[in-house]
Structure 1
């Protein structure tokens, strides 16, 4: 019985095992060379592990590692400030853990209860950067999910320690500072190698059902603060002026008192000196006092005439010319002729 070939005219192919092995080796080496070259971006470093253990930290640039899984690299961005968002989402983020994609999960994150058992909706974000890449890679299995859980726990703790008025109005800055301090303490305790740069509160609102009432309360508080500021401004304007007037009047009174005291002391001194002269020569002193007094009084007396007691008649000495009589003034009530 003859052998039947499916393609009797097809050429026979002979395989050389050595060439096959050489080809496989070349492909294997090429794959190893290509897989052993890696590049580190300018804002990052690469943590290199060999058989799972830490080997070195590679700086930005082109590097070579042992292929086929012997060396593994983890790129860590150390020069970039990253953020995690809670209760909101910025589309187009490069970090997969930056926000929760599920809308229901976002609503759960921002629903919180204050210390006085009121519900509020709090949106916030944290900004951080990797400070120690080795600790970031080795100390925590999943650093970003862990950081999200820590941040949410800290914010709920901070909100739960305050009243709803503090959360909605005057307590925002203090809450941000307290949350930053608390979160940094927790990350340091876990040795995550992360530095928290900032915690910033976004929209903080009451639930939709009571938002109108809370807005009225906020408006009243703002009006109250405005009135307090106006009163403080009026106080600062009036009180310094009143104090200045008081100081001026006090200075005037003190000056007047000093003047009167000096005058009284001068009069007393003059009286004592006059008394001493009077005791020495009473008649002369009385006459001098009389003459001095008359010299002060007579100039103020109008139409005075001084006569010698021996004069026989004083009419020749008088000016008998009198001014011409003036017609009487017209009465303004009488009609004019």
Structure 2
């Protein structure tokens, strides 16, 4: 049977708990009892009201102290060496902070750390139309660094996206004003520099606080359908440039050698000129010395000149002894060959002395006239 069923039964658990007729607990009394118990720990007596008020003041102070401590501790932060901190006070820019351990009032200041030393990179690629209406695929990469942290953070909504769009626009502008052959071959450096200048102009107008460090032209290639033909054309241009470089190297090698030969020939010609001039002057001086002697004794001077001339001529020829007597058989002895061989052969002393005497007589010109006469007589007899 239920405890609240009509019939006079009163089984209410709240009123009959412990055998006493009680109602539901009073919340005010519960809180009073709790505060009284805590008041004992705070120095109060019993459960009186003053003790509760004392505990409430101390608890509030403790809570406020904890809140202040948490607020102070939460304000410490660290800025790394490569970063600069942008301080916003109630959402408005206040100042910059340098690297190190810093403190800020929480809920008043907010910090935006920005890396200003790292060099970042961004790539861009795509198919583009050139000035001569050809399609080319270009890949480039830009390297940049942040100069002004506040402008980089708040000048534009998303700085990376703005830079990417500006980069794409600069590439398409430069490629659209260039020939396809220039972009694929020799004009890459010019295109790279033009893209850098155009991108620098765009980001300066945005005032993004960025600086372009470098620009890399990674690749440029034609569409796949005509890639083989363009590869052949590029290879031909490379061969042409290689041949030009080889010709320049050959010219640089030959030119100094030719100049050296020219200088050597000029010096030899000058030496020959001086030698001939000096020889002519010597001949003139010699004839001038002979002229007085010739005037004094013409026959003697003529004969002496004749003999000296024959001596000079025969000194460079072979000496031959011809026997013009006998039965008509011509016998000749090569005197120079015999003298060359006598050192290695057993020639008797008397024969050797005779050969030496003949050689000395012939070299001194003592018997030059007789020798010439005998030779002329022998030739006449043979004839």
When you count helix as a share of all residues, which structure comes out higher?
2
Q: Which one of the candidate residues 155, 180, 190 is aligned to 2:171?
A: 155
- Shift, 1:115, TM fit: 2.6
Aligned ranges for residues 163-174 of structure 1 at < 5 Å?
Answer: 163-174=179-190
What corresponds to 2:376 in structure 1?
none
Q: Which one of the candidate residues 113, 129, 154 is aligned to 1:75?
A: 113
* C-alpha distance after superposition, 1:207-254 (max 9, x if no partner): 222212111111222222233333333333444333333333333233
Aligned ranges for residues 55-204 of structure 1 at < 5 Å?
Answer: 55-68=94-107, 70-87=108-125, 110-204=126-220
Aligned ranges for residues 286-325 of structure 1 at < 5 Å?
Answer: 287-297=300-310, 300=313
TM-score using structure 1 length: 0.68
- CA-based RMSD: 3.9
| Secondary structure of the structure 1 residue equivalent to 2:121 | strand
**Cα separation, 2, equivalents of 1:44 and 1:296:** 106
| Secondary structure of the structure 2 residue equivalent to 1:170 | coil
- Shift, 1:84, TM fit: 1.3
Decide whether aligned partners of structure 1 residues 29 and 208 sit closer, same or farther in structure 2, where only a CA change above 3 A counts.
farther
Decide whether aligned partners of structure 1 residues 240 and 76 sit closer, same or farther in structure 2, where only a CA change above 3 A counts.
same
Q: Which one of the candidate residues 44, 48, 55 is aligned to 2:83?
A: 44
Decide whether aligned partners of structure 1 residues 323 and 153 sit closer, same or farther in structure 2, where only a CA change above 3 A counts.
farther
- Shift, 1:139, TM fit: 3.9
Decide whether aligned partners of structure 1 residues 249 and 195 sit closer, same or farther in structure 2, where only a CA change above 3 A counts.
same
| Secondary structure of the structure 1 residue equivalent to 2:142 | strand
Decide whether aligned partners of structure 1 residues 21 and 11 sit closer, same or farther in structure 2, where only a CA change above 3 A counts.
farther
- Shift, 1:195, TM fit: 1.6
Decide whether aligned partners of structure 1 residues 140 and 296 sit closer, same or farther in structure 2, where only a CA change above 3 A counts.
same
**Cα separation, 1, equivalents of 2:330 and 2:25:** 171
What corresponds to 1:263 in structure 2?
279
What corresponds to 2:261 in structure 1?
245
| Secondary structure of the structure 1 residue equivalent to 2:214 | strand
Query: Where does structure 1 lack aligned partners over 5 or more consecutive residues?
Result: 88-109, 305-317, 327-337
**Cα separation, 1, equivalents of 2:70 and 2:105:** 12
Which has the larger Rg?
2
| Secondary structure of the structure 1 residue equivalent to 2:297 | helix
| Secondary structure of the structure 1 residue equivalent to 2:252 | helix
**Cα separation, 2, equivalents of 1:76 and 1:303:** 112
- Shift, 1:199, TM fit: 0.9
Query: Where does structure 2 lack aligned partners over 5 or more consecutive residues?
Result: 5-11, 18-23, 36-55, 332-383
Decide whether aligned partners of structure 1 residues 218 and 299 sit closer, same or farther in structure 2, where only a CA change above 3 A counts.
closer
Aligned residues: 284
TM-score using structure 2 length: 0.61
- Shift, 1:206, TM fit: 1.1
Is it true that 1:207 corresponds to 2:223 in the alignment? Answer: yes
Higher-RCO chain (CA-CA 8 Å, sequence separation at least 6)? 1
